[in-house]
A and B are shown apart, each in its own frame.
Chain A
């Protein structure tokens, strides 16, 4: 596709369950970012990938959160033993390189996670 694709668009889960969120970046983009946005709040940085490696994981809120990227393309964000405070929209973004033109990050539409 032409843009960043995220799935699922909506996920409702029960407290304690594990969830996986997927991001398909724009083809050829080497840099990939995960952000989280809680209701009415700003965007919170979670993790950055350059290729398949993650040199900056500083935003992951706890060890229940992990992410991987394979083939320099698709990324999966996994949340284990979900808690109600994990409810948020999880946004993925990609850019051509980390210093891409103007620092332009292209964002997907997000995955809305609701933990009951």
Chain B
């Protein structure tokens, strides 16, 4: 599975959009981009995933560049409860196990 690179930490003002970038320059055609987050002392939580097209759900939007080498997770109106570590993960649809390999992620601090 392709490697991802994320900033170590980011701040965001409450009520503003949080834009979390992820680089995955070695991604291959059959690999999806997944985003999970981990709020302090809890298990990770699935947010969203995508292959080529931009995706939106009730939690967030995922913008994937045309060349698929990078993506951005957007939390449209960040709240204090969105403070967490956000993980960007790339995994192939032909994965034998479906396991996800977590990196260090981005620690997002939402401030009042």
Interface residues of B in 46-75 (CB under 8 A from A): 46, 48-49
Q: Which residue of A lies closest to B38 (CB)?
A: A43
Whether the pair A98, B97 counts as a contact (CB closer than 8 A) is yes
Interface residues of A in 82-116 (CB under 8 A from B): 91, 93, 95, 97-100, 102-110
Whether the pair A103, B100 counts as a contact (CB closer than 8 A) is yes
CA distance A113 to B31 in the complex (A): 35
Interface string of B94-112 (1 = CB under 8 A from A): 0111111111110000000
Contacts of A106 on B, CB cut-off 8 Å? 46
Chain B interface mostly: loop
Interface residues of A in 36-50 (CB under 8 A from B): 42-43, 45, 48, 50
Whether the pair B44, A102 counts as a contact (CB closer than 8 A) is no
Contacts of A45 on B, CB cut-off 8 Å? 99-102
Whether the pair B32, A42 counts as a contact (CB closer than 8 A) is no
CA distance A56 to B91 in the complex (A): 16
Contacts of B48 on A, CB cut-off 8 Å? 102
CA distance A15 to B96 in the complex (A): 36
State whether the Cβ of A1 lies closer than 8 Å to any Cβ in chain B.
Answer: no
CA distance A97 to B42 in the complex (A): 23
Contacts of B34 on A, CB cut-off 8 Å? 102-103
State whether the Cβ of A55 lies closer than 8 Å to any Cβ in chain B.
Answer: yes
State whether the Cβ of B93 lies closer than 8 Å to any Cβ in chain A.
Answer: yes
**Contact A108/B43 with A42-B105, A102-B49, A103-B49 known, Cβ cut-off 8 Å:** yes
Q: Which residue of A lies closest to B95 (CB)?
A: A98
**Contact A43/B44 with A102-B49, A103-B49 known, Cβ cut-off 8 Å:** yes
Report B108 CB to chain A, min CB distance, Å: 15
Contacts of B87 on A, CB cut-off 8 Å? 42
Q: Which residue of A lies closest to B91 (CB)?
A: A103
CA distance A56 to B10 in the complex (A): 35
Beyond contacts A55-B97, A103-B100: 5 other A-B pairs, Cβ-Cβ < 8 A, are A48-B98, A50-B97, A98-B95, A102-B34, A107-B44
Q: What 10 pairs between A and B have smallest CB-CB spacing?
A: A107-B43, A98-B98, A43-B102, A102-B49, A104-B46, A48-B97, A56-B97, A42-B102, A107-B44, A42-B104
